[in-house]
């Protein structure tokens, strides 16, 4: 499940999910947002292939450097590449936004040791809005969704998600369904 936009995902559960709570929408940041760490990792990966050429151009004599130093440099370099890739992927994969039939869930994964989960009941959703700005956002159709909640509850923001206008509309439609059920349940014909 590496998709950034999944409607009605199956075989998926999240921490704190009620047994009768159905997931309607699973979102992650658009995959193009990974470009920053992917490019960094690729450049760092190919760096050792260009260092000898750069040293030749600079006419540096490195014959008196111990042979262990270049090997140590390679090991450190490739460990850094692995860390960048591992951290970048984990950050993208575990930062998820979930819309259920009851709640909006924002899981912010900061590191292996720290995550933050914000939950807002659909009945508290007052308004949604979306924005897309920039060339990449327009080409790849991703942006931010802002969810305004009632009272003292924290507002929830979905960052860099695919189809932001559709997501904002989807959430508002689901909130209206909950409002409608609430009114019908409280309405007693007289």
Q: Mind listing the pLDDT tens digit for each residue in 61-85?
A: 767 778 888 899 999 999 999 999 9
Instruction: Provide the number of structural domains found in the chain.
Output: 2
Q: What is the pLDDT of residues 70-126, one digit of tens each?
A: 899 999 999 999 999 999 999 999 999 999 999 999 999 988 889 899 999 999 999
Residue range 138-189, pLDDT digits in tens: 999 999 999 999 877 788 999 999 999 999 999 999 999 987 755 444 444 4
Q: Which residue range is the domain that position 120 belongs to?
A: 20-29+95-184
pLDDT in tens, 23-36: 999 999 999 999 99
- Looking at the structure, tell me whether residues 136 and 175 fall in a common domain: yes
Sheet holding 142-149, edge to edge: 125-131, 142-149, 156-162
Please, is 92 exposed, middle or buried when counting C-beta atoms within 10 Å of its C-beta (0-12, 13-18, 19+)?
buried
From 72, 89, 106, give the residue that closes a domain: 89
**Which CATH number goes with the domain that contains 163?**
2.30.29.30
What's the pTM? 0.83
């Amino acid at each position: 499940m590496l998709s950034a936009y999944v409607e009605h995902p199956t075989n998926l559960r999240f921490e704190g999910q009620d047994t009768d709570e159905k997931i309607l929408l699973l979102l992650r940041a658009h995959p193009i947002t990974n470009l920053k760490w992917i490019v960094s990792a690729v450049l760092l990966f190919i760096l050792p292939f260009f260092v000898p050429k750069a040293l030749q151009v600079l006419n540096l004599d490195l014959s008196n450097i111990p042979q262990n130093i270049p090997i140590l440099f390679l090991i450190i370099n490739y460990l850094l590449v692995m860390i960048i890739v591992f951290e970048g992927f984990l950050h993208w994969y575990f930062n998820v936004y979930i819309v259920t039939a009851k709640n909006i869930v924002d899981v912010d994964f900061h590191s292996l040791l720290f995550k933050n989960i914000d939950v807002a009941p659909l009945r508290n959703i007052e308004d949604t809005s979306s924005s897309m700005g920039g060339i990449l956002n327009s080409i790849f159709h991703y942006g931010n969704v802002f969810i305004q909640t009632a009272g003292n509850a924290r507002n929830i923001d979905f960052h860099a998600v695919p189809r932001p206008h559709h997501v904002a509309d989807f959430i508002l439609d689901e909130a209206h369904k909950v409002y409608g059920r609430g009114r019908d349940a409280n309405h007693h014909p007289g």
